[in-house]
Structure 1
Amino acid sequence: MGLRTTAAVLVGRAVRVAARLRGGGSAIPGNIALRIDPGFLERTIAAIPDGVVAVSGSNGKSTTTNMLSAIVRAHGLSVFTNPSGGNLPQGIASALLSEVSVSGKLDSDIAVLEVDEGYGTRLAELLKPKTVLLLNIQIDQLNRYHEPDRVAAMLGRVAASSTEGLILNREDNFLVDLDQQIPAKAGRAVSFFGGVPALVEPASHGVASADRFGESAASPGSRPAAVEVVALNGARATLAIEGAVLPTSGVAERTEIEVRLPARGLHYALDAAGAAAAARSVLGARFKPALVTAALDSLATVYGRGEMLVVNGEQIEIIMMKNPASLQLNLDSLESAPEQVFLAVDEGTPDPSWIYDIDFSALDHVDGITGSKAWQFAVRFGYLSIPVGSVDLDVRAALKAFLALPKPSTGHKVMILNYEQMMDIRKILGFKELEGGGAA
């Protein structure tokens, strides 16, 4: 396999350079590499000493993978991850191309990998994760996932593949007792993360967990949490972390830490709790809560996930609407109606009918809408009597008009974008580096 692997790495790297010059195509280099050497991904990952942590769920995968990687690095481990959110085999292979030697050797202690829920079963077979972290099961892209029960079944198989650790969100209707729905495995430790009722219960739409019908289930919030969000203040959260049981008293140590979040919102705080709980599980006695604070306080935001861009001296917040839950939770987290707001959505959201289930009361107007699905949103806002300044299907023209608006008297400009428009608009603005670099 030596010559084939070398060819896969060299050709993949060349394609990667060309793709980055164009400002996209993060999965293409990995796809080419896997065509040349189909075993490249599986063989390289299998050689990592401390194995794989797989992170999956309907929302928050990229953010949580980024957080967990930073926490593990803060503990002195070398981490391989897929930072651009490429969570299919070709995306992970693309990330490998910049890390491996020409012979295909990866110099990392552990892999922390975002895993696509729809492809999770196959990836679990390839990656053989020691630890699995599952964030949530929410209403997702109906054209792809159909029903939450289907996603629950897929993620159940991913959870069952874990050999040493399984970390679950106790606030989720499906995950609160997932450990009891899959075959037990000797040596696998199960732990949970969540938030205190005082934070979860008053949330406008809870944690947007999908409804579970037709069977008796454990009550969300009922499982003891290894890490718990106990306070939330804007983009800062306080996490309570359970430690080892003290031999003298039989009582578990409990440490409270404060961490910075990528953006405001309970959903981001739960992502941080999940990352801390996974690090606690993976690192065991080596885990130090203070290093969670150090890691998250200095962490760069994953592109498009609460990202703040600076364009022509103005701050612009990017809010991504991947699916109904992500849009709703991001709207819920707004402290007040944005003074200037722009929306762009295209065929990456093939059926936007779910917008009729969204509570848009956090918005009092929209300055401009663009993208091929713009009129569907404009009609919805019309029914809600939310004024829309303009609808222009020409994305560049609409974006130019929005940027030309005077600087807001309070706050900053806000863009609500689906994934494909987020990628395109970042490129138009000059941010071509997929992992979040670049300059306007």
Structure 2
Amino acid sequence: MKYVLPILLGRLVRIIARARGGGSAYPGYLVLKLLPSFLTDVTKQFDRGVLFVLGSNGKSTTTHMLSDVMRAHGLRVFTNPTGANLPQGIASALLSEVSIFGKLKADVGVLEVDEAFAVELSGHLHPSTVLMLNVQVDQLYRFYETSRVADMMTDTAATAGTHVVTNRDDEYLGPFTSSTLDVTRFGASTELVAEAPHGLQNASAFGGQTEGSAPLQAEAEVRALSAQGATIALSRATGGGSSSLDIRLPAKGLHYAVDAAAAIQTARVALGSEFDESKAVAAFAAMKPAYGRGERLKIGTDEAEFVMFKNAASLQLNLDALADAPEQVLLAIDEGTPDISWIYDVDFSSLDHVDVVSGEKAWQIALRLEHAGIPIGTVEPRIEKAIELMKALPAPASKTKNFIVNYEQMMIARKMLGYPDLEKRA
């Protein structure tokens, strides 16, 4: 009975928060205050354990991919689909799934986790597998140095129960080894990375580390990329043998293909002999884009395609993935990204204009675009008004209006288009 009151109160607060238009992590904070053992008690019910997903960028996308692949193998998956990756956010996500008696009908937990809280959460959730995606320049106002983020990830990886999956091409993470854990890797071929306009934006590419002397093997490697999908070569660390998967990607870009390789390799080690390549391919064929990452939502008779970013690396990689300059573009950043001085490191040449610039940082963006010689239609700091301006533009020939936004602006825009939260996705 110890669960009933905290869970009921948490759900009540959750209902109130949503009625007021928020997705608040406060319900989870409240439950953890009332019942500190909530996370441990609930997640120890997973027969297949907990899988952690860490990384500067790509956590939500990879968590989404990995969850769908695990479901394709018949497992019931609990995850945090909106990207709430702090302890209180994960507790809030659990509130929607757990019974009032603390019972959870799921076989495995697939969780994206904030790097700064990952070691703490590992003490509560005891992950069987830890996936490390990348170390990229991100939130320096919070982390100060990228090397600190790498240390947070590798410290968490060392707490894994059985498996660690890491990025062969990230010089902070690739060399990770353990005498007690099974360590495997994913990556992209040298040729593909060289062809990318700005590489994969790993922090080590900016002088953070020196090159290793011995090449590392990637058990899952992206070998080819197209507008629709990718080819991923799979090999075994021991015993030889290899295969190749042609998969459809839910969003465009080499970074999404690398995320897919990471998800597939993590599913391989988590499922062991139960992993079925055909089921993984089927999962990607049916996969929708992750929340706000390549989603296409109706906006009148057209569609709004959302590209979400939070730092220079994610913005650059998404701009690089554009096949052509978009016909209509809204670019918005608000105070959720406190310091945007990094926009001067971003190459905006894939855009030939921006129709509407919005968010609290609108004038800073406009100044950067002016320096880049990119024409601007309107600067409108209020995102609500900016969306109305986008709606009023003539229908583009492509039937697509591109929304390049950070997380907070994406949430507001989705609500204005009639998609108030993840549970109500089209």
Partner of residue 419, structure 1: 407
Question: Pick from 68, 73, 76: which aligns with 2:71?
Answer: 73
Match in the other structure for 1:113:
111
**C-alpha distance in 1, partners of 2:390/2:208?**
47
Correspondence for 1:196 among 186, 189, 199: 189
Match of 1:403 in 2: 391
* 1:346-369: CA deviation from partner (whole Å, max 9, x where unpaired): 111111110010011101111111
Q: Structure 1: which 5+ residue stretches go unaligned?
A: none
Give the drift of 1:438: 4.1
Q: 1:176–1:219: 8 Å Cα contact kept in structure 2?
A: no
Correspondence 1:228 to 2:194: no
TM superposition shift of 1:304: 1.0
**Residue 313 of structure 1, CA deviation:** 2.3
- Distance (whole Å) between structure 2 residues aligned to residue 51 and residue 396 of structure 1: 42
Is the aligned partner of 1:394 residue 2:392? no
Q: Deviations over 1:200-233 (max 9, x none)?
A: 111111110002757644269x311111111111
How many Å separate the matches in 2 of 1:236 and 1:149? 32
Return the alpha-carbon distance in structure 2 between the equivalents of residues 392 and 428 of structure 1: 16
| TM-score (structure 1 length as normaliser) | 0.93
Q: For residue 256 of structure 1, what is the amino acid of its counterpart?
A: S
State the SS of the aligned residue for 1:257. strand
List structure 1 runs of 4+ shifted beyond 3 angstroms: 212-217
Match of 1:251 among 222, 240, 254: 240
- Are the aligned partners of 1:371 and 1:394 in contact in 2 as well (CA < 8 Å)? yes
Match of 1:156 in 2: 154
Q: Are positions 1:322 and 2:322 aligned together? A: no
RMSD after superposition: 1.7
Is the 1:87–1:115 contact (alpha carbons within 8 Å) kept by the matching residues of 2? yes
Amino acid of the residue matched to residue 285 of structure 1? Answer: S
Letter in 2 for 1:122: E
1:335 maps to what in 2?
A: 323
Give 1:265 shift: 0.3
Find 2:198's aligned residue among 187, 192, 205: 205
Q: Is the 8 A contact 2:219 2:237 kept in 1?
A: no
Structure 2 residue 357 is matched with structure 1 residue 359: no
Change (3 A) 1:321 1:404: same
C-alpha spacing 1:412/1:219, structure 2 compared with 1 (3 Å): farther
Unaligned runs of 5+ in 2: none
Measured at CA, do residues 159 and 414 of structure 1 come closer, stay the same or move farther in structure 2, by a change above 3 Å? same
In structure 2, distance between residues paired with 1:411 and 1:325: 28
Distance 1:368-1:6 versus aligned 2 partners, 3 A rule? same
Equivalent residue for 1:302, pick from 260, 282, 290: 290
Distance 1:120 1:219 in 2: 30
Equivalent of residue 102 in structure 1, options 100, 103, 114: 100
Q: Give the TM-score normalised by structure 2.
A: 0.96
* Cα distance in 1 for residues equivalent to 2:212 and 2:75: 36
Taking only the aligned residue pairs, the percentage that are identical comes to 50
